[in-house]
Structure 1
Amino acid sequence: MSSPAVCYTLASAPFEAACRIPTLPATHPASRLHGHSYAARVRARLPADWAGFAGAGLGTLRERLGAAVAPLDYAYLNDHLPVPTDENLARWLRKALAGAGVPGLESLGIRSTPDAGVDLDADGRAHVWRRFRFEAAHWLPKVPPGHPCGRLHGHGFEVVLHANQDLGSADMGIDQDGLAVLWAPLGAKLDHACLNDLPGLDCPTSEVLARWIWQRLKPRQPELSWVTVFETVTAGCQYDGEHFRIWKEQRFEAATRLSCAPAEDRRAGLHGHSYAIRLHVDAPLDEVLGWTVDFGDVKARFAPVYDRLDHQRLDALPGLADGDTAALAAWIRAEAAGALPELDRIDLYETPGNGVALCWGALAPALPG
Structure 2
Amino acid sequence: MTDQFLYTASVNFEAARRVLLLPEGHRSRNLHGHSFLAEVRCALPDDWASFPGGEVEELKDKLASIISPLDYSELNCELEQPTDENLARWIRSRLDLPSVESVGVQSTLHEGVDLDLKEHAHIWRRYTFESAHQLPNVPVGHKCGRMHGHGFEVILHADQDLGGHSIGVDYDHLDALWAPVHAELDHVCLNDIPGLKNPTSEVISNWIWQRLKPQLPELSWVTVYETASCGAHFDGKNYRIWKEMTLDSAVQLRHAPEGDRRRRIHGHTYKLRLHLHANLDQVMGWTVDFGDVKRLFDPIFKRLDHHPLYEIAELADTDIASLIRWIRDQAAPLLPQLDRIDLFETRGCGAILSWGDIGPALPI
Q: What are the ranges of 5 or more consecutive residues in structure 1 without an aligned counterpart?
A: none
User: What CA distance in whole angstroms lies between the structure 2 residues aligned with 1:66 and 1:29?
Assistant: 29
| 1:28 alignment partner, one of 23, 26, 29 | 26
User: What CA distance in whole angstroms lies between the structure 2 residues aligned with 1:58 and 1:120?
Assistant: 20
> What whole-Å deviation, never above 9, does each CA across 1:2-50 have from its counterpart, x for those lacking one?
x542211111110100110111223111001111111111111111111
Moved beyond 6 Å, runs of 4+? none
Task: State the Cα distance separating 1:124 from its structure 2 match.
Answer: 2.5
> What whole-Å deviation, never above 9, does each CA across 1:142-168 have from its counterpart, x for those lacking one?
000000000000000000001124379
Q: 1:19-98, aligned counterparts within 5 Å?
A: 19-98=17-96
How many residues get paired?
A: 362
User: What CA distance in whole angstroms lies between the structure 2 residues aligned with 1:365 and 1:47?
Assistant: 23
**Structure 2 match to 1:352:** 347
**Structure 2 match to 1:273:** 268
User: What CA distance in whole angstroms lies between the structure 1 residues aligned with 2:223 and 2:99?
Assistant: 26
Q: 1:1-369, aligned counterparts within 5 Å?
A: 3-98=1-96, 102-166=97-161, 173-361=168-356, 363-369=357-363
1:247 counterpart SS class? strand
Label 1:218 to 1:29 Cα distance change in 2 as closer, same or farther (>3 A). same
1:226 counterpart SS class? strand
TM-score, normalised by the number of residues in structure 2: 0.96
User: What CA distance in whole angstroms lies between the structure 2 residues aligned with 1:73 and 1:17?
Assistant: 6
User: What CA distance in whole angstroms lies between the structure 1 residues aligned with 2:172 and 2:55?
Assistant: 37
2:316 counterpart SS class? coil
- The question of whether the paired residues in 2 share the 8 Å contact of 1:107 and 1:367 is answered with no
TM-score, normalised by the number of residues in structure 1: 0.95
Q: Which moved more, 1:158-167 or 1:113-122?
A: 158-167
- The question of whether the paired residues in 1 share the 8 Å contact of 2:241 and 2:275 is answered with yes
User: What CA distance in whole angstroms lies between the structure 2 residues aligned with 1:133 and 1:174?
Assistant: 20
Q: What are the ranges of 5 or more consecutive residues in structure 2 without an aligned counterpart?
A: none
User: What CA distance in whole angstroms lies between the structure 2 residues aligned with 1:248 and 1:22?
Assistant: 40
Task: State the Cα distance separating 1:200 from its structure 2 match.
Answer: 0.5
Percent of matched pairs sharing the same residue: 55
User: What CA distance in whole angstroms lies between the structure 2 residues aligned with 1:248 and 1:256?
Assistant: 23
- The question of whether the paired residues in 1 share the 8 Å contact of 2:252 and 2:310 is answered with yes
